[in-house]
């Protein structure tokens, strides 16, 4: 009998769909829209802090109106500056998005990614009031997925075992570590330090601000990461193991 081995990354449909949408949006901008149309597209769907400054807006100088005031908290994450930008973001999305989608399921995964994207936009808005430069990129949402995944991947029997060929789908459903325990875990702290260092040195997976040399909006990274870390329990469908450890009475 032939025994088939599982692939290292068996990507869930929700993550495949995320990748497809990001690639299609970028292809539309690069291959279909003219420069003028692309500028209008960015002004409508990128996140621009000046949009929320009543003095600067002066009666609606940005396209999209009130609708854009709402949807740009999310839609900026679907836009990227160039192939390198989107490629690096996808490289971060595949492992962490896969872990999260396997644990959360499709709709919790989608809702979570939208919430942490909005948290990244809010952090950028607070730190750049009145800024006219559009912010784009999925990495605030991916930072949130990374933080959420770190709540359970290091646990005994967790998904890291899959990378050594030792686990199954149940590895994604192990009880998550409490938040305080996660913050004290040396493995979490080492991973966090490496991630911060890579972003600082190379801008890997960066949220881009168009113009000004396409600077990294690191505040959006932090906003997404903190939201993912602290909101994990609100989305996590896994029942803590301790609820099963109680002994039946008499």
Q: How much is the pLDDT for 240?
A: 54
- For 159-217, how does the pLDDT look when each residue is reduced to its tens digit (9 = 90+)? 775 444 444 667 788 888 888 988 888 988 998 888 787 766 655 445 555 544 556 77
Task: Please give the C-alpha separations between residue 28 and each of 19, 101, 111, 141, in angstroms, as whole numbers.
Answer: 14, 26, 25, 22
The architecture (CATH level 2) of 13-236 comes to Up-down Bundle (1.20)
DSSP characters for 166-229? Answer: ---GGGGGSPPPPHHHHHH-HHHHHHHHHHHHHHHHH-TTPPEESSTTTEE-HHHHHHHHHHHH
User: In whole angstroms, what is the distance from residue 124 CA to residue 145 CA?
Assistant: 18
Q: Which residue has the higher pLDDT, 193 or 57?
A: 193
Q: Which two tokens stand for residue 186?
A: 């040396």
Q: Answer whether residue 41 shows pLDDT above 90.
A: yes
């Amino acid at each position: 009998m032939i025994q088939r081995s599982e692939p290292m990354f068996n990507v869930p449909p929700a993550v495949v769909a995320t990748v497809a949408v990001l690639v299609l949006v970028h292809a539309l901008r690069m291959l279909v829209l003219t420069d003028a149309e692309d500028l209008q597209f960015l002004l409508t769907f990128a996140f621009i802090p000046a949009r929320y400054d009543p003095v600067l807006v002066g009666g609606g100088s940005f396209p999209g109106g009130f609708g854009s005031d709402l949807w740009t908290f999310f839609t900026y994450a679907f836009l990227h500056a160039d192939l390198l930008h989107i490629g690096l973001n996808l490289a971060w999305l595949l492992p962490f998005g896969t872990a999260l989608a396997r644990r959360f399921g499709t709709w919790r995964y989608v809702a979570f990614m939208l919430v942490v994207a909005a948290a990244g936009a809010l952090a950028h808005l607070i730190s750049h009031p009145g800024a006219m430069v559009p912010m784009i990129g999925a990495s605030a949402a991916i930072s949130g997925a990374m933080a959420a995944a770190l709540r359970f991947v290091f646990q005994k029997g967790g998904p890291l075992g899959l990378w050594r060929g030792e686990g199954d789908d149940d590895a994604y459903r192990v009880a998550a570590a409490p938040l305080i325990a996660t913050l004290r875990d040396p493995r979490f702290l080492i991973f966090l330090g490496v991630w911060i260092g890579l972003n600082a040195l190379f801008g890997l997976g960066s949220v881009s601000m168009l113009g000004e040399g396409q600077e990294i909006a690191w505040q959006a990274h932090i906003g997404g990461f903190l939201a993912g870390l602290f909101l994990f329990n609100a989305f996590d469908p896994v029942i803590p193991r301790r609820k099963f450890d109680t002994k039946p009475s008499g």
